[in-house]
Homo-oligomer: A and B are copies of this chain.
C-alpha cells in the first residue's frame, strides 16, 4: 500500500477537534455538553448580510477577480479607513478565510527552511500552515504569570538567526486573549526594523478589544513595507462558514508574489463575497451588542475560574478566549475525562487542552483554553461542572 508523505504524517491533527468523538459519545449518553472548546460564536449572522446574498441577481456564477471582486475591495478600503488603517484596493487580496491569507504570507515571504518567530502559546493551525510551507516555527514563550504579555525583546533577539525571516503575532490573541499595547507593538516594530524581518499580524479579533486600545501593525510608521496584515470576516460578522479573509500588504513586490499564488487558485468564494461586501455597510454601532455580550461573558468566566481553588486565569484584553491554569496532571487527559467519565447534574464541559497551542515540549500541560462563545447562564453551568470536576478528578494535583 502507498503511504502518505512525511509531511502528511507529521502534520498535527487539530487539538481542538480531536476530542469531538468523546463529546459525541457523551451526548449519546444523554449528557449535555457545554462547548467552550471552539471559537464558533453563538452570535447570529446579521440577517441583512445573508439577505444581500438572497437578493443578488446572478445569472452566471463566474470566477471573480483573483484578488476578489473590485467592488468588495473598494468597500474594504472604506472599512479599514473607519478603523484607522489606510490602504488601497490594490493592496488587498481577498482570501478563502483567514487561513489562506496566512498560507499566502508564508509562501510569498519565506522559503523552505526559513524560520518564523511566534509568541507561544499560539493558534495551533499555524503549525499546519508552516508544514505546508516548509517553514520552521521558532516559539518565544509568553508566560501565564505575565498574563501572556509580549516576552522581552531580548528573548526574541536570542532566537533570531540567518534563517529568521518573520515574526507572526495574533492581536488580540488567540488562544490567550492578550491585547498588545502600543509599547509592545513599537518594540516589535523596532526589532523588525533592525533585523529586517517581516511582521505578519493576524488581526481576526480586531473588533473585540476590551481592555485598552487596539493597535494594528498597519499603524506602525517605520516598517510599512514589512507588514503583512492577515484578516477575516469570520468572527467580525459571525460568518465563520463564509470563508472570506484578506491578505494585505503595502509591499508591492510581496503583493505581486502573493497574487501569483492567488491566481493559481483562480478566485476566492463568490457568493460569500456578496455577504462580506454588505457587511461593510452594517451600522457603526453593530459591534456594540456582540462586544457587550463578550465583555459580560469574559467578566463572569474569569471571576468564576479564579474563584475555584487552585485555578488561575489572567484577564484577557480581547478576542473571546482565555487560558486557565488548573490543578491537574495533564489537560489532555482531564479534558477527555470530563467527556468520558464525568457529569454533574447530567452536564459536563468541553475545553481545548492547551498543549496543542505550544510547540515547546511539556508546556501547557496544566492549561486549557476556554472560548466564551456561550451565554452567561451556560457559562455558570459549565463552571459549576468544572468546579465539581476538579474536586473529584483522580489526576488532581495539590499545591
Binding site for B on A (CB under 8 A): 1-9, 11-14, 17, 40-45, 50, 53-54, 58-64, 66, 96-97, 99-100, 103, 107-112, 114, 125, 127-129, 132-134, 165, 196-198, 225-226, 238-243, 251, 253-254, 256-258, 260-261, 263-272, 275
Q: For A266, list chain B residues within 8 Å (CB).
A: 97, 99, 125, 240, 243
Judge whether A99 and B265 touch: CB under 8 Å: yes
Q: For A271, list chain B residues within 8 Å (CB).
A: 53, 241-242, 269, 271-272, 275
Residue of B60, B114, B261, B263 near A44 (CB, 8 A) is: B60
Judge whether B110 and A5 touch: CB under 8 Å: yes
> Which residue in chain B gives the minimum CB-CB distance to A129?
B264
Judge whether B96 and A263 touch: CB under 8 Å: no
Complex CA–CA separation, A54 to B198 (angstroms):
42
Complex CA–CA separation, A241 to B239 (angstroms):
19
Complex CA–CA separation, A15 to B5 (angstroms):
30
Complex CA–CA separation, A266 to B125 (angstroms):
9
Q: For A268, list chain B residues within 8 Å (CB).
A: 243
Known: A225-B1, A254-B4, A269-B271. Is A63-B125 also a contact (CB below 8 A)? no
Residue of B96, B132, B198 near A132 (CB, 8 A) is: B132
Q: For A238, list chain B residues within 8 Å (CB).
A: 60-61
A73 smallest CB distance to B (angstroms)? 16
Q: For A50, list chain B residues within 8 Å (CB).
A: 58, 61
Residue of B4, B53, B132, B264 near A125 (CB, 8 A) is: B264
Q: For A272, list chain B residues within 8 Å (CB).
A: 269-272
Complex CA–CA separation, A44 to B61 (angstroms):
8
Judge whether B61 and A7 touch: CB under 8 Å: no
How many copies of the shown chain assemble into the complex?
2
Cβ contacts A to B, 15 pairs, < 8 Å: A1-B225, A2-B196, A2-B198, A5-B165, A7-B107, A7-B111, A8-B254, A9-B257, A11-B264, A14-B263, A43-B60, A45-B58, A96-B269, A112-B112, A243-B270
Judge whether A111 and B6 touch: CB under 8 Å: yes
Known: A54-B53, A100-B265, A263-B128. Is A8-B60 also a contact (CB below 8 A)? no
Residue of B242, B253, B269 near A242 (CB, 8 A) is: B269
Judge whether A63 and B240 touch: CB under 8 Å: yes
Q: For A258, list chain B residues within 8 Å (CB).
A: 4, 8
Judge whether A11 and B128 touch: CB under 8 Å: no
Q: For A11, list chain B residues within 8 Å (CB).
A: 108, 257, 260-261, 264
Residue of B43, B61, B128 near A261 (CB, 8 A) is: B128
Judge whether A62 and B270 touch: CB under 8 Å: no
Q: For A2, list chain B residues within 8 Å (CB).
A: 109, 196-198, 225-226, 251, 254
Complex CA–CA separation, A258 to B60 (angstroms):
31
Complex CA–CA separation, A184 to B14 (angstroms):
40
A293 smallest CB distance to B (angstroms)? 14
Q: For A264, list chain B residues within 8 Å (CB).
A: 11, 14, 99, 125, 127-129, 132
> Which residue in chain B gives the minimum CB-CB distance to A275?
B271
> Which residue in chain B gives the minimum CB-CB distance to A197?
B2
> Which residue in chain B gives the minimum CB-CB distance to A265?
B99
Judge whether B265 and A97 touch: CB under 8 Å: yes
A221 smallest CB distance to B (angstroms)? 16
> Which residue in chain B gives the minimum CB-CB distance to A270?
B241
A266 smallest CB distance to B (angstroms)? 6
Judge whether B108 and A5 touch: CB under 8 Å: yes
